[in-house]
Amino acid sequence: MKKTLVILMLIFVFHGLFYETRAGLNTLLFSLGLTVALAWLKPHYLRRPKVRWVLGGWLLSAVAVVTHHSLLSELVYWGCFVVSWGYVLEQASRFWVFGLLESGLSFFTNWWYSLSQLSWFRERGNKPRLAKAWQQVRLVVIPTLLLIPFYLLYYQANTGFQVLGQWLSSWLRPLFQFDLQPTAIVHFLLGGMFITAALSSRPGVGFFRQLERQWYYKLRRQRGPLSRTTPINGLRTEYRIAMRSFSALNALLLLINGIDLATVWFHTQNRTAAQLSQYVHEGTWLLILSILLAIGVVVVFLRGNLNFYPASRPLRYLIYLWLVQNAFLGLSVGVRNWHYIQAYQLAHGRIVVFFFLALCWYGLYTVYRKVEGPLTTYFLLQYNGWALGVALLLSSSVNWDSFITSYNLRHGSADYYYLQSGLKNNLSPILQHWYIQDTKERARWSTEAIARRCRFAVRNYEAFDWRSWNWSDYRQYKLAKAWLEALEATKKPPRSGVETEAEPLTN
């Protein structure tokens, strides 16, 4: 009964926090409430270190939403929720992919399973529990489920019924903060499925458990009788193929790295903007793809008993050399990207390149550990999946629009059109920089464009209530409002800035 009341209360809280508003403070409040409810109802779940880690990451992503309010932070927030609650729901799960699948299945099945587990559904005798549950559910749930789609259809088809529904909504809203509009009903039902999936208990998928029982980090030698189609010297032949393949690949990559060493590291050529763009954009992503393919080649060759071949040490040295050369190739890609930033300053794509390179280097390191172990492909998927999650969580903790704007304004000649039109969440550093510029530098900005963005920031902030409050929008609202007031009073903003809003910003 306690669990049922908590679920019902959180459903109404979810609807009140998220209906007809955007993400902001409501995400952090909801995350804290759901975590506290989990700790109260199922404290044993939090004994698993992995569950504590993923829930901690989810709460940090909620803090990022409140602080920066970027699209990336919102996507990471809901992605962290799906992964973390997959581990919460299925305690035996170790693989993050199965955590994702468990979350998806729970969203569609946990509401019914929870209904069947309510105390007043349970059968005291030897009769099937589900049969007794059906006798109780059909008296209330079936009529309600039939009523909802017809209500939605009649609401859209009959204007008089719309007026009645709106009148009922206006009467019920002050009491329950609930709306009988079709979108409100759908939102409430989805919230019910959402909360039920998060807090209810359901047996995990047996197929996933059976698979995970067969997967280990440590690679095991496969022993058994040879089939008629297996040649006696098959492992030796595979070893010779691998030796020749990695020898040729190392020679080719040594040539590529030698060219990069001469042209990228020690002799930088003066290129036009178009040449440098092609040099970085196309070449960079192709080289990153080659690193990923290199990882795949190692995994394919060392997938089985070749790891235990007695004379495989020379092959391991060739693979280590191949991994080191790929790591150096990634370093050359980073130098290319850095040359591009020095010439044409910072942009989102150039930051993404560094994140991809970091993931590639970590992937090469995990491949080294796999060869040294030897370890399984499951180890690679598990550790690289977690690395991707950590990288996304770290990237969502920064307001990249403001970071790019501040960096470009401090280093060289900035692209003012890109800063004021191509980026959205960077009004604070633009207005801060305005106050410290002289008249000649201010002329490079479009005052009309800045004023348009300031008016939009003020309207956008005032259109929402406290539920969508976030530090980024609040700070931009205060600065934009002061800037517009100064513009209205003097027809141009003052040089000294606003008395109460001129302190440095981190946003």
Give per-residue pLDDT as tens, 218-227: 766 665 554 4
Residue 226 dihedral angles phi and psi, to the nearest 5°: -75, 140
Q: How far apart are CA 355 and CA 360, in angstroms?
A: 9
**pLDDT of amino acid 76:** 92
Mean pLDDT of 356-383: 87
pLDDT at 267 over 80: no
- Residues 334, 349: Cα–Cα separation, whole Å: 13
Nearest to 373 by CA among 212, 215, 220, 214: 220
Q: Which of 47, 63, 114, 59 is nearest to 84 (CA)?
A: 59
DSSP assignment of 74-112: HHHHHHHHHHHHHHHH-TT---HHHHHHHHHHHHHHHHH
Asked whether residue 145 carries a pLDDT value surpassing 90, the answer given is no
Q: What is the mean pLDDT of residues 328-340?
A: 86
Q: Mean pLDDT, to the nearest integer, of 308-333?
A: 85
Q: Which residues 6+ apart lie within 8 Å of 405 measured at CB? A: 419, 423, 426, 429, 430, 433
Q: What are all long-range contacts of 173-180, with beta carbons under 8 Å and residues at least 24 apart?
A: 176/12, 177/12, 177/15, 177/16, 178/12, 178/15, 179/19
User: Does the structure show a pLDDT above 60 at 69?
Assistant: yes
In this prediction, residue 448 carries a pLDDT of 86
Task: Report residue 375: phi and psi, to 5°.
Answer: -120, 170
Task: Evaluate if residue 483 carries a pLDDT over 90.
Answer: no
| CA separation, residue 310 to residues 60, 235, 367, 445 (Å) | 48, 11, 20, 69
Burial (Cβ within 10 Å: 0-12, 13-18, ≥19) of residue 166 = middle
**If we measure between CA atoms, which residue out of 2, 70, 6 comes closest to residue 37?**
6
Q: pLDDT above 90 covers what percent of the chain?
A: 14
Nearest Cα to Cα of residue 475 among 396, 375, 399: 399
Please count the CA atoms within 13 angstroms of the CA of 296 that sit on its side-chain side: 6
Spell out the residues 6+ positions from residue 68 whose beta carbon is closer than 8 angstroms to its own: 396, 397, 398, 399, 425, 470, 471, 472, 507
> Residue 134 has what pLDDT?
56
Place of tokens 């993404």: 352
Reduced to 3 states, what is the DSSP secondary structure of residue 170?
Answer: helix
Nearest to 25 by CA among 56, 58, 78, 69: 69
**What is the rounded CA–CA span in Å between residue 79 and residue 74?**
9
What mean pLDDT do residues 365-371 have?
Answer: 89
Note the pLDDT of residue 438: 65
Contact 74, 191 (CB under 8 A): no
DSSP letter at 258 equals H
pLDDT at position 120, please? 45
Amino acid occupying residue 260: D
Mean pLDDT of 316-337: 88
CA–CA dist 380, 296 (Å, integer): 11
- Mean residue pLDDT of the chain comes to 77
User: What pLDDT was estimated at residue 28?
Assistant: 93
pLDDT of residue 226: 47
Going by C-alpha positions, the residue among 452, 396, 383 that lies closest to residue 424 is: 452
Burial (0-12, 13-18, 19+ Cβ within 10 Å), 70: buried
- Please tell me the least confidently modeled range out of 180-184, 463-467, 484-488: 180-184
Q: Phi and psi at residue 230, in whole multiples of 5°?
A: -90, 120
**Max alpha carbon distance in the chain (Å)?**
92
Split at pLDDT 50, 70, 90, the class of 113 is low
44 vs 403, higher pLDDT: 403
Q: Is 266 helix (H, G, I), strand (E, B) or coil?
A: coil
d(CA 77, CA 59): 8
Rounded-to-integer distance, Cα 304 and Cα 238, Å = 11
Share of the chain above pLDDT 70, in %: 69
Residue 107: pLDDT band (50, 70, 90) is low
Cβ(328)–Cβ(259) below 8 Å: no
C-alpha 272, offset from chain centre = 36
What are the phi and psi torsion angles at 123 (to 5°)? Answer: -95, 135
Residue whose tokens read 């992995």: 50
Q: What's the pTM value of the predicted model, to 2 decimals?
A: 0.75
